[in-house]
Structure 1
Amino acid sequence: MTQAVQNLFDSLPESLDSEVVEDLVRGENIRIERILSHGQSSPESGWYDQDENEWVLVLQGRGEIRFEDGRSQTLGLGDTLHLPAHTKHRVHWTDPDQITIWLAVFYA
Structure 2
Amino acid sequence: MDAPHGHLLHPLPPAGPDEVLDTLLARGGVRVERIVSFGQSSPDGFWYDQTEDEFVVLLAGAAVLRFEDGDRTVDLVPGSWVDIPAHCRHRVEATAADEATVWLTVFWPAA
Is TM more than 0.5 here? yes
Aligned mates of 1:50, 1:73 — CA distance in 2: 18
Instruction: Please name the residue that 1:74 is paired with.
Output: 75
- Cα deviation for residue 4 of structure 1 reads 2.6
Instruction: Please name the residue that 1:36 is paired with.
Output: 36
Secondary structure, in 3 states, of the residue corresponding to 1:14? coil
Aligned mates of 1:14, 1:23 — CA distance in 2: 17
- Cα deviation for residue 6 of structure 1 reads 0.5
1:41 partner amino acid: S
Aligned mates of 2:49, 2:17 — CA distance in 1: 25
Aligned mates of 1:11, 1:17 — CA distance in 2: 18
Question: How high is the TM-score relative to the length of structure 2?
Answer: 0.92
Question: How high is the TM-score relative to the length of structure 1?
Answer: 0.94
- Cα deviation for residue 10 of structure 1 reads 1.7
Aligned residues between the structures: 108
Alignment of 1:1-108 (within 5 A): 1-69=1-69, 70-108=71-109
Secondary structure, in 3 states, of the residue corresponding to 2:35? strand
Name segments (4+ residues, structure 1) moved above 3 Å. none
1:97 partner amino acid: D
Question: Structure 1: 5+ residue runs without aligned partners?
Answer: none
Q: Which moved more, 1:5-14 or 1:61-70?
A: 5-14
Aligned mates of 1:14, 1:2 — CA distance in 2: 28
Identity %: 43
Aligned mates of 2:46, 2:3 — CA distance in 1: 39
Aligned mates of 2:85, 2:13 — CA distance in 1: 31
